[in-house]
Structure 1
Amino acid sequence: MASGLIFDPRTLLRTAPLITSACTFWYSLDQDFFLNIFLHPDHCTRSNEFLPSYFRTFFGFGTLRVLPLLVLTLTGGGYNILMERRSGPAVSHLLFVLAIAPKVQAVIEDTSRGSSTKDLERWLTIHRVRTWIVDLAS
């Protein structure tokens, strides 16, 4: 099996960024759709009340869903970089963590004191930029 006749692990490492990036892109589109519902004028007042609690729960489980994808992307991307193949867009998804993390934390900790939808709106703006520029490109 190590010979690659039946299963070639190098092929898996080469294609991993494509597969994981496609999954990340789909998940990003889902997040945008479902979280944007909280910003609808009919829901804003109630959203401000429960959004911090929702985000604590959402990102606890959501992080566990995304981390394996990111690890596989980094592993496959690192392999491809070493083998002189392009994986920059797939790996660059992580660069947005620095911009997104403070927005997520602001919602979780309710730093805006009852205006969490404004923090969510800022987060979704960065999220959309990342989705359409980085995730789609990868």
Structure 2
Amino acid sequence: MNVIGILRHGIGIAGVPPIGLAIARGLVIDGIRHADPASLAIQAAGPEEERAWLRRIARVHRTAPLPPGLVLAIRVGNGERAVGAVLVAERETDLGDRPGSILRIGLETIELDRRDGSPPVAVAPSLVGLAEAQAWARAHVA
């Protein structure tokens, strides 16, 4: 599965916020790895501790207001060209139609719905803790 291709169209994560944030960190790190460090731009809205580790690694960092119902919203780009976007909400309805795909956090599985009419598929995304993301950011300072 081409995660970066899916990320480019936006991924919404719906479910328990701590798990959603851990999945979002992993996806954002993957997106950053596919961006040109010289033109890396990040726009983030959400908790300060999430924005703080992102500020360490991007030459351009913009803070944005958090849309209602969302826990976190991040856009990673090469200058003005989008590499990917991640939204996190407790309820799928709060994501609206913004993301191209949805990751649903269930009691026993996490499934990806590409919103293209195909059936959702079970996935096992990387979970990245806040301390792990902070350490990664320190090692990759812009």
Give TM-score, length-normalised by structure 1: 0.29
Larger relative helix fraction: 1
Between structures 1 and 2, the one with greater strand share: 2
Q: Which protein has greater RCO, CA pairs closer than 8 Å, 6+ apart? A: 1
- Please tell me whether Structure 1 or Structure 2 has the larger radius of gyration of its CA atoms: 1
Q: TM-score, normalised by structure 2?
A: 0.28
